């Protein structure tokens, strides 16, 4: 085939330029240090928590109602559109 020299030189170039990669086992001591850190937390008053839950539930309900209305209008319009097309044909 005649491309053995060029392929061999490309392979040699790739091998010589390959960077040294670290494995997970080399970094194991540094990974263990992060393991024991804790996130700062705050206590929340139960009334505030209840108010927040109600606020989120109301927002979700409004969003759900909007989606149902939009889908209902879209479905109705598409149904009317396809029925009118069938009447024309």
pLDDT digits (tens, 9 = 90+) for 64-75: 999 999 999 999
CA distances from 20 to 16, 17, 25, 26 (A): 11, 9, 14, 12
83 — pLDDT class (breaks 50, 70, 90): confident
What pTM, to 2 d.p., does this model score?
0.47
Terminus-to-terminus CA distance in the chain, angstroms? 65
Reported confidence tier of residue 8, pLDDT bands at 50, 70, 90:
confident
Higher per-residue pLDDT: 81 or 51:
51
pLDDT of 26 reads 63
- Upper half-sphere CA count for residue 58 (Cβ side, 13 Å): 6
Instruction: Summarize the confidence of residues 82-86 as an average pLDDT.
Output: 80
């Amino acid at each position: 085939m005649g491309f053995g020299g060029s392929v061999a030189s490309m392979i040699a170039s790739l091998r010589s330029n390959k960077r040294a990669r670290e494995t997970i086992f080399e970094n194991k001591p540094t990974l263990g240090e992060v393991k024991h850190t804790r996130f700062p937390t705050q206590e929340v008053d139960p009334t505030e928590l209840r108010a927040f839950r109600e606020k989120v539930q109301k927002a979700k309900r409004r969003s759900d109602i909007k989606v149902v209305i939009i889908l209902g209008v879209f479905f109705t319009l598409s149904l009317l559109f396809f029925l009118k097309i069938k009447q024309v044909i």
